[in-house]
């Protein structure tokens, strides 16, 4: 029964993403990791990308893969749940020269034909929280990497959605310990994300076999986003008190 529920959620999320994809074209893509986070230009988590085979989980419109190509990656691979996103990525990456491109439409919980122990880097920019089964997804990602390969991902900080803004006040409206598949609040259509604690991510990574190298919860507030409007999902007020997002870098042992 649980597996059939997960399949239903994946299909529902696919429909929602197919409809919403144009709104997210080019958004939250490298060198940006997520809202109010330091960028890759500042963090240098990927190091030298020259000649690297890279795989993106939740590749969206392909802008992060294009960034990888511009920094010397030799092969670009991506998977995304949305057909609309994959078509956008194919179009965007069609102009990339001298770089192999392979894109798959499918759920991150399943392997659609991605080679095993092949990649130097697997990464995910603000997409991993859409998995309905984190353990299974991480096992897949681990299998795709060469020994010593890197897995880097960013996602919304789990405390962010637990706190709402009411004028100048921040109010805890949900328990941090409340985990599981839940409706994504900012979306006006069915969109189920996996709300998990930071410790759950860390423990699942360790159990899978990853060695955690770095966790980033830093905030970089730009003048142009200093909004106090509670209708904005990521505000300066909240970011000045709690991290809106996080990044984890780990290594396949």
Q: Give the Cα-Cα-Cα angle 34, 205, 58 (nearest 5 degrees).
A: 40
pLDDT at 1: 42
CB atoms within 10 A of CB 113: 9
Tokens encoding 232: 């904005």
Q: Give the Cα-Cα-Cα angle 158, 107, 11 (nearest 5 degrees).
A: 90
CB 219 within 8 A of CB 21: no
CB 145 within 8 A of CB 209: no
CB 30 within 8 A of CB 68: yes
Omega before residue 3 within 30° of 0, cis:
no
CA distance 227 to 192: 27
CA distance 103 to 66: 13
CA distance 202 to 206: 6
CA distance 110 to 80: 11
Domains of the chain: 2-252 (3.40.50.150)
pLDDT at 111: 97
Segments of the chain scoring below 70 in pLDDT: 1-2, 223-231
Crossing angle of helices 63-70 and 83-93, rounded to 10°: 30
What are the CA-CA distances from residue 25 to residues 10, 37, 77, 104, 159 (Å)?
21, 19, 18, 18, 26
**First-to-last C-alpha distance (Å) of the chain:** 35
What are the CA-CA distances from residue 6 to residues 148, 158, 193, 215 (Å)?
32, 21, 11, 29
What does pTM read for this prediction? 0.93
């Amino acid at each position: 029964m649980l597996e059939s529920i997960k399949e239903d959620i994946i299909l529902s999320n696919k429909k929602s993403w197919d409809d919403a994809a144009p709104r997210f074209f080019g958004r939250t893509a490298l060198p940006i990791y997520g809202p109010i986070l330091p960028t890759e230009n500042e963090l240098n988590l990927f190091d030298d990308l020259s000649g690297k085979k890279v795989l993106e989980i939740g590749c969206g419109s392909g802008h992060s893969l294009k960034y990888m190509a511009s920094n010397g990656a030799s092969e670009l691979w991506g998977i995304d749940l949305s057909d609309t996103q994959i078509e956008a990525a194919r179009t965007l990456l069609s102009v990339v020269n001298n770089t192999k491109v392979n894109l798959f439409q499918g759920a991150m919980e399943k392997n659609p034909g991605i080679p095993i122990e092949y990649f130097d880097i697997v990464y995910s920019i603000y997409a991993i929280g859409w998995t309905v089964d984190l353990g299974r997804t991480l096992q897949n990602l681990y299998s795709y990497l060469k020994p010593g390969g890197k897995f880097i991902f960013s996602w919304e900080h789990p405390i962010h959605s637990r706190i709402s803004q009411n004028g100048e006040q921040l109010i805890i409206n949900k328990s941090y310990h409340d985990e599981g598949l839940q409706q994504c609040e900012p979306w006006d259509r069915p969109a189920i994300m996996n709300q998990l604690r930071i410790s759950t991510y860390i423990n699942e990574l360790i159990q899978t076999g990853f060695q955690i190298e770095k966790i980033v919860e830093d905030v970089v507030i730009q003048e142009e986003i200093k909004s106090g409007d509670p209708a904005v999902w990521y505000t300066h007020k909240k970011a000045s008190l709690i991290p809106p997002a996080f990044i984890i870098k780990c290594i396949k042992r």
